[in-house]
A and B are shown apart, each in its own frame.
Chain A
């Protein structure tokens, strides 16, 4: 195969001050900031510019602007976020996020964003699970699209400014799209560049840079049923690990309770929480509203015990308790899972979500137009006439690259991370609406810190020839494996997804996870030797072969951390350890890579919350999450009371 002879490889080389990997909300916001700081910036995007997974976000962007309720402020938002994450969050990140989110949203309006409005012309804000007040800035149910388009158009506008100055649109900020990074380079322990290929030609490219902002999103493609797009292969997580950085909180995955289960082509696609908010109920194959059976003791006081009471809540929330269909996402997901396992599921392995018998067709069309559209066009189901079939879907990874909260810098100098691929901000469970605000706040911070870091350097680290050769060799491995009869990468991918789905899914057990780790070892060997046919131009088999090792490494982190944490908290549920244990609240599980397909796990203590932030909570609430000795510093006298 002379075509793939490494010695003949011509590697295109670029030099930039800052390289941003990932062109979703976090990456674009980081790039805007780096460019505004005067840095020559490259944006690298696995797909076309403007197609990133951020477009899928529906609900909104949480920011305590107080437009809908003037009582809202950063402290309330902070408390909600910490509660949502069951107090495992990096509290400093949660603090910065709550304080800065409003400015980040208002700034988008100066870029041209058009959010829905309040009657007095301000940005409208909507209610969402876990948020005390209506807090989500939104545009109907396509807020993510608005966000990404706005940031994309801001980048174009910066390029237009540069064109006026230099005659070249790309003199200061350039988008390299359909380009996949397969390796980061470090020299003397600090970032010196990265390496990858262009999808359309298959030719190699190298970026020499001292600062890399990782903004690659999540890991959902390691699972069989997910709301995530193909790009979510954990690239940033794995690249960072292999460069010597660490990941935290990888055991925490959010399974959204209601994804579509039928037809197969759309399995996993999200069905918005608003369906239940507007009166939709969950039923099993016997027609029973099963959620009444699944109200955990800690929530008994707040949820209705009869259908009649639950139904009255929609019109009279002050005198009735809310229906159990509106329990937190993790509770609902577990309940659906149990019903299906007990043989009371719908024909395609979900349960029924029924709005048709609850609202008139006119009401449904008015309140849930996109859900009507989604089911009509994709499933040929008229939700005004028949129930939907839904089931849990892998939605978001709370875990990610361990970063310094103020700067977003990882443990490797010159490596920064923002958005879903970073870890800590959301603790064990993310609130809806907090991801769009997260990526704006920390995208900007990473762009700023990357620029400052570059300024602080005397000489920039240089990529070594050995590292470059090794990267070329690894990228071409699937072609040489072909001669040795390696497996089809699609087959190995399906096996990985099945393993994670069945053995490290919503409900986890020790023996199943041990089996998963054994299977992952086998998959590791197979991943190393997958083979691909044909040429290098836009070859999906080759792309998958290289993505596969990222998914594998990330899956190992998830499985190992999940096996280690012997409690249930947020996005981590253990069948054998079903309760939350305050002895685990302050423990972070940290993953580092041992080579390409092994992971080492260590424990780390969470830094205690700053006293004035601690005092924002009532002692009685903290008692549910903290051990006695941790409460000593509270204003109410903690441990003694």
Chain B
């Protein structure tokens, strides 16, 4: 069973671009990425799209479909009416390279700014002991496939280029939370989360959680607890007094 569907795909580069109309054949069971591939094989051999695993596991094919940030490989054509126009555009928060491919280097820059896991001194490899219940919190965040849909959708940077400098974005604030909750990590991360990575910009609208294809509760389980830890540190009277007396930072 197949039918023809009206596709509109953004074509262009960093300078200019436009939506181009394509009639596309759609077969039962297909996803948006299949249709993009069919267009490549037929009438648009040079249509650029980034993809890898085609199984929702690598997070490469992030685009916006009818305005919603989605993975093209996980968006089934059966979710649209046959006569609905399907519009596919590149992620808006990142600069376009060509067609549906964007320059996501912002994310790699931010990844490098988060200090790495700080292993405990004097614990030899093979001697690490952790309880399942304790690793599970960080494990939820390590399900992240780095599709950057949360980074793309977060309103702090989506239409605010000026905030990119000071804001790590949900993915990397979650990375800080992950390390902070790692049972054996020895670094102190809470003050930096607020002061260097822009945790304060987040006003918990949960847009990141909504678009996460891994269904990670980014806001509830990572960002809010991290905010609470920061607040505890900053406004705890004992800590405040200690800082005053001993001039720790």
B54 close to A265 (CB less than 8 A): yes
Contact A160 B52, CB 8 Å, known A117-B132, A265-B33:
no
Chain-B contact segment, one of A316-324, A465-473, A515-523, A529-537: A529-537
Q: Which of A65-117 contact B (CB under 8 A)?
A: 65, 102-103, 106-107, 109-112, 114-117
Q: Give the docked Cα–Cα distance between A121 and B183 (Å).
A: 11
B46 close to A111 (CB less than 8 A): no
Looking at A154, A157, A374, A538, the one whose CB has the most chain B CB atoms below 10 A away is A538
Closest CB-CB distance, B79 to chain A, in whole Å? Answer: 10
Contact A537 B52, CB 8 Å, known A146-B142, A377-B74:
no
A200 close to B97 (CB less than 8 A): yes
Closest CB-CB distance, A553 to chain B, in whole Å? Answer: 23
Q: Does A149 contact B (CB under 8 A)?
A: yes
CB nearest neighbor in A for B147 = A51
Task: Write out the residue numbers on chain B whose beta carbons fall within 8 Å of the beta carbon of A120.
Answer: 129
A106 close to B125 (CB less than 8 A): yes
Q: Give the docked Cα–Cα distance between A377 and B40 (Å).
A: 25
Q: Does A462 contact B (CB under 8 A)?
A: no
Task: Write out the residue numbers on chain B whose beta carbons fall within 8 Å of the beta carbon of A47.
Answer: 50, 52, 58, 60
Contact A490 B40, CB 8 Å, known A106-B126, A265-B33, A265-B54:
yes
Q: Does B205 contact A (CB under 8 A)?
A: no
Q: Which of A550-595 contact B (CB under 8 A)?
A: none
Closest CB-CB distance, A139 to chain B, in whole Å? Answer: 7
Give which listed residue, A109, A269, A378, contacts B128 with CB less than 8 A.
Answer: A109
Q: Does A460 contact B (CB under 8 A)?
A: no
Q: Does A612 contact B (CB under 8 A)?
A: no
Q: Does A540 contact B (CB under 8 A)?
A: yes
A114 close to B182 (CB less than 8 A): yes
Q: Which of A222-268 contact B (CB under 8 A)?
A: 229-231, 262-266
Q: Which of A143-196 contact B (CB under 8 A)?
A: 145-146, 149, 153-154, 156-157, 159-160, 163, 169
B112 close to A169 (CB less than 8 A): yes
Q: Does B41 contact A (CB under 8 A)?
A: yes
A160 close to B115 (CB less than 8 A): yes
Task: Write out the residue numbers on chain A whose beta carbons fall within 8 Å of the beta carbon of B27.
Answer: 264
Q: Does B45 contact A (CB under 8 A)?
A: yes
Give which listed residue, A159, A534, A540, contacts B49 with CB less than 8 A.
Answer: A540
Q: Give the docked Cα–Cα distance between A116 and B60 (Å).
A: 26
B34 close to A537 (CB less than 8 A): no
A145 close to B46 (CB less than 8 A): no
Task: Write out the residue numbers on chain B whose beta carbons fall within 8 Å of the beta carbon of A50.
Answer: 146
Q: Does A53 contact B (CB under 8 A)?
A: yes
Closest CB-CB distance, A563 to chain B, in whole Å? Answer: 31
Contact A109 B125, CB 8 Å, known A47-B52, A49-B108, A139-B142:
yes
Interface size class of B (residues with CB under 8 A): 35 or more
Q: Does B210 contact A (CB under 8 A)?
A: no
Closest CB-CB distance, B30 to chain A, in whole Å? Answer: 5
Give which listed residue, A169, A263, A539, contacts B46 with CB less than 8 A.
Answer: A539
Q: Does B101 contact A (CB under 8 A)?
A: yes
Q: Which of B139-166 contact A (CB under 8 A)?
A: 139, 142-146
Give which listed residue, B78, B98, B139, B142, contacts A537 with CB less than 8 A.
Answer: B98
B145 close to A145 (CB less than 8 A): yes
Interface of B (DSSP majority class): loop
Closest CB-CB distance, A526 to chain B, in whole Å? Answer: 16
CB nearest neighbor in A for B97 = A200
A153 close to B117 (CB less than 8 A): yes
Task: Write out the residue numbers on chain B whose beta carbons fall within 8 Å of the beta carbon of A539.
Answer: 45-46, 48
Contact A55 B145, CB 8 Å, known A160-B112, A264-B29:
yes
A51 close to B60 (CB less than 8 A): yes
Looking at B58, B59, B74, B103, the one whose CB has the most chain A CB atoms below 10 A away is B58
Give which listed residue, A48, A56, A379, A541, contacts B60 with CB less than 8 A.
Answer: A48
B112 close to A537 (CB less than 8 A): no
Contact with A along B68-83 (1 / 0, CB 8 A): 0000011010100000
Q: Does A488 contact B (CB under 8 A)?
A: yes
Give which listed residue, B47, B53, B103, B108, contacts A229 with CB less than 8 A.
Answer: B53
A538 close to B97 (CB less than 8 A): yes
B112 close to A156 (CB less than 8 A): yes
Give which listed residue, A262, A269, A538, contacts B55 with CB less than 8 A.
Answer: A269
Contact with A along B95-112 (1 / 0, CB 8 A): 001110101100010011
Looking at B28, B132, B144, the one whose CB has the most chain A CB atoms below 10 A away is B132
Q: Does A142 contact B (CB under 8 A)?
A: yes
Task: Write out the residue numbers on chain B whose beta carbons fall within 8 Å of the beta carbon of A115.
Answer: 135
Q: Which of A447-463 contact B (CB under 8 A)?
A: none
Task: Write out the residue numbers on chain B whose beta carbons fall within 8 Å of the beta carbon of A229.
Answer: 52-54, 58
What are 8 inter-chain pairs, A to B, with CB distance below 8 A?
Answer: A114-B142, A119-B132, A145-B57, A145-B145, A200-B98, A265-B30, A378-B56, A542-B46
Extra contacts besides A106-B128, A229-B54, A491-B41 (17): CB < 8 Å: A55-B53, A112-B185, A114-B135, A117-B130, A119-B132, A146-B142, A153-B116, A159-B112, A200-B103, A229-B58, A230-B54, A265-B31, A269-B54, A533-B45, A537-B13, A537-B98, A538-B101
Residues of B whose CB lies within 8 Å of any CB of A are 13, 27-31, 33-34, 40-41, 45-60, 73-74, 76, 78, 97-99, 101, 103-104, 108, 111-112, 115-117, 119, 125-126, 128-132, 135, 138-139, 142-146, 179, 182, 185
Across the A-B interface, the 9 shortest Cβ-Cβ residue pairs: A263-B29, A112-B117, A157-B116, A534-B46, A121-B129, A538-B48, A541-B45, A106-B125, A106-B126
